Structures are given as structure tokens and as C-alpha cells.
Amino acid sequence: MTPDAPVVLAAIAGAHGVRGEVRLKLYATGLASLAAHRQFQAGTRALTLVALRDGPSGPIARFAEVADRTAAEALRGLELAVPRAALPPLGEGEIYWTDLIGRAVVTPEGAPAGTVVAMANYGASDLLEVERPDARRVLVPLTPEAVPELTDPLVIDPAWLDSK
């Protein structure tokens, strides 16, 4: 990732209600991390956040440029990004997920083991999706046991890279 590339904080999951609100899939730590920003890039559009709240199935947002349900539905699937410079500085040992995507993965001996192609969290822990050299993909938990340090390249024990 280039240092000035936009960072995606959420994606629009669909419309909520009839007044143009949208449901969000949040990639950031919480609502406060989104609320800290007013302008988002959504594809080729700029969106101005005017309201944000918790909803029954995740965050709900209202943007000044979205007036009704039809306009909200048209945004489904768009990612909401901000300039990297707009993000707070990282603390010791912290990293943005986006900085891991594209990172090479090696074994402790230094043998190539794949590339991080995506990140996910299904509730238990953050997961690295690693594409192996044979094009198989495996999920590796982002835990000290599987990934002792956030180095470049990432060193991962081969036991975590075997599909089970």
C-alpha cells in the first residue's frame, strides 16, 4: 500500500428505512472512528456524514447527498474511505489492516509461503486470508501464536498455513 492511499473504514451494506439512511459494515474500531470524519470517498462520489448511530443490525448513517431509499440502495457495496493523513497516529504495536494486505508471508526459515490478500473478523479474532503459492487460500488467526510479530514479510509457522 502506498503511504498516501485512502483507507477504507466501512462499506455500505444497503438502505435503512425510506429517508436515505444506509446500513454500514464497519471495518474500523467503532462508531467513534467513523464519527471523527465528515467527508468520505465512496467510489467516485464524495459523501458528507450528517448523522451516525447504532442500529438493530449495525451502524446506520445518513449522508447529505442521499435523500431517499432509492439513492441509498444505489450505494450498496460502495466502500467509504478517508485519506490516510486524516487517521490518528498509530500506537506502539498497532497496525492498520490495510497495511497487511499485499504483505508477503514466509516460514520461520524464510521460505515463501504466500501473500496476505484480505483481512476478516467473524467474532473470535482478526484473520489473515493468505493465498498460498499453489493459489489455495487459508485463514490464519492474527494471534501471537500464529503471527508472533508484525514484520515485513510476515513470519507464520507452516502449521497455520495448512488447510484442514
Q: What is the pLDDT of residues 92-121, one digit of tens each?
A: 877 888 889 999 999 999 999 999 999 887
- Residue 111 to residues 88, 106, 146, 157: CA-CA distances in angstroms? 35, 5, 16, 11
Give the mean pLDDT of the chain. 90
Domains of the chain: 7-86 (2.40.30.60), 97-161 (2.30.30.240)
Q: Tell me the C-alpha distance between 41 and 80, whole Å.
A: 6
Instruction: Tell me 159's DSSP state.
Output: G
What do you get for the CA distance between the two ends of the chain, in Å?
Answer: 30
Q: Tell me the C-alpha distance between 72 and 39, whole Å.
A: 17
Helix (H, G, I), strand (E, B) or coil at 119: strand
Q: Which of 20-24, 66-70, 125-129, 130-134 comes out lowest in average pLDDT? A: 125-129
Tell me if 100 sits within 8 A of 119, measured CB to CB: yes
This model's pTM is above 0.85: no
The yes-or-no verdict on residue 67 having pLDDT over 90 is yes
The band of 80, judged by pLDDT with boundaries at 50, 70 and 90, is very high
pLDDT value for 41: 95
Q: Tell me the C-alpha distance between 15 and 36, whole Å.
A: 22
pLDDT value for 124: 77
- pLDDT above 90 covers what percent of the chain? 60
In the block, cell 435523500 appears at 67
Segments in the chain forming alpha helices (H): 31-35, 69-74
Q: What is the mean pLDDT of residues 115-142?
A: 89
The yes-or-no verdict on residue 5 having pLDDT over 70 is yes
Cell numbers standing for residue 147:
503471527
The yes-or-no verdict on residue 1 having pLDDT over 90 is no
Tell me if 52 sits within 8 A of 9, measured CB to CB: no
Instruction: Tell me 109's DSSP state.
Output: T
The yes-or-no verdict on residue 159 having pLDDT over 80 is yes
Cell numbers standing for residue 54:
447504532
pLDDT value for 119: 87
Q: Which residue, among 12, 17, 13, has the nearest Cα to 45 in the 3D structure? A: 12
pLDDT value for 151: 86
**For 43-64, how does the pLDDT look when each residue is reduced to its tens digit (9 = 90+)?**
999 999 999 999 988 899 999 9
Radius of gyration of the chain (CA): 18
Q: What is the mean pLDDT of residues 126-148?
A: 91
